[in-house]
């Protein structure tokens, strides 16, 4: 009896889900402008420097609160200079909610970065490096997490990179950042190489994993002439 009710409930829930737009479709993804610098700085400072872990030392938390405005200011300067440089193959994408379309709630940046090309040569001969699109500073404001915003931003980043004419996308993740690792695995990013093994063995610091995603269904490069093809 209980099994039958549970089965019917699941079927009804599935049918309802078909007619109701998913919560993630509420968010809009767009290219950031200089007006977003303040909000994006808040998101980055909050996500990367404010430690919500209750176990963290009280003094450390006071110190972080004290330096918070300085950190935010530094991030603002960095962002403003990246926005102003008009570098080819650089993009900052932001997510907004319909309730306030001018306020970014999440962001990520894409730039070109040298990545070691896997080769069969001995490592002491040096590894060949090539430039590839690279995602960094992905962060979602703590109030908006677990609603599919990061997933939507990453999908939009793939579209941008495909328009530039590239077929691979890279990013780093710390080995102890479980939420991010789970997200990247879900989206199809796979382990490529690792860094920081010396500090890991000597100091116990987490290693950095370089992840790679091979993009499929490439669209032709944009006519702006900015794009280059990789590989």
Contact predicate 40/94, CB 8 Å: yes
d(CA 70, CA 154): 29
Token readout for 224 is 């702006």
43-62 residues in contact with ligand COA (CB under 6 A) are 47
The DSSP output letter for 205 is: P
Select from 151, 207, 208, 226 the one that contacts ligand COA (CB under 6 A).
Answer: 151
d(CA 110, CA 89): 8
| Backbone dihedral angles phi then psi of residue 9, each to the nearest 5 degrees | -60, -40
Select from 140, 157, 211, 227 the one that contacts ligand COA (CB under 6 A).
Answer: 140
Tell me if 167 contacts ligand COA by CB under 6 A. Answer: no
Give the pairing type, strands 91-97 and 100-116. Answer: antiparallel
CB of 127 to ligand COA, least distance (A): 23
- 116 closest CA partner among 125, 129, 126: 129
CB nearer to ligand COA: pick between 32 and 227: 32
Tell me if 180 contacts ligand COA by CB under 6 A. Answer: yes
Tell me if 213 contacts ligand COA by CB under 6 A. Answer: no
Region of 64-72, 171-179, 194-202, 218-226 interacting with ligand COA (CB under 6 A): 171-179
Upper half-sphere CA count for residue 181 (Cβ side, 13 Å): 11
Select from 139, 156, 161, 169 the one that contacts ligand COA (CB under 6 A).
Answer: 139
Tell me if 64 contacts ligand COA by CB under 6 A. Answer: no
Binding site for ligand COA (CB under 6 A): 47, 138-140, 145-151, 173, 177, 179-180, 182-183, 186
């Amino acid at each position: 009896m209980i099994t039958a009710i549970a089965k019917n409930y699941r079927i009804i829930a599935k049918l309802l889900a078909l007619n109701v737009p998913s919560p993630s479709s509420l968010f809009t993804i767009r290219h950031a402008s200089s007006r977003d610098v303040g909000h994006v700085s808040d998101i980055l400072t909050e996500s990367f420097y404010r430690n919500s872990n209750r176990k963290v030392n009280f003094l450390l938390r006071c110190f972080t609160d004290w330096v918070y405005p300085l950190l935010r200011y530094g991030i603002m300067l960095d962002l403003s200079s990246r926005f102003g440089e008009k570098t080819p193959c650089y993009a900052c994408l932001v997510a907004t909610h319909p309730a306030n379309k001018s306020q970014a709630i999440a962001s990520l940046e894409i730039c070109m970065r040298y990545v070691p090309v896997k080769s069969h040569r001995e490592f002491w001969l040096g590894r060949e490096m090539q430039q590839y699109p690279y995602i960094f500073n992905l962060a979602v404001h703590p109030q908006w997490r677990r609603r599919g915003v990061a997933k939507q931003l990453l999908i939009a980043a793939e579209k941008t990179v495909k328009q530039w004419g590239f077929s691979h996308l890279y990013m780093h993740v710390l080995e102890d950042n479980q939420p991010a690792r789970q997200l990247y695995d879900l989206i199809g990013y796979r382990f490529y190489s690792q860094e920081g093994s010396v500090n890991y063995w000597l100091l116990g610091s987490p290693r950095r994993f370089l992840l790679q995603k091979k993009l499929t269904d490439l669209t032709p490069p944009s006519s702006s002439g900015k794009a280059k093809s990789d590989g």
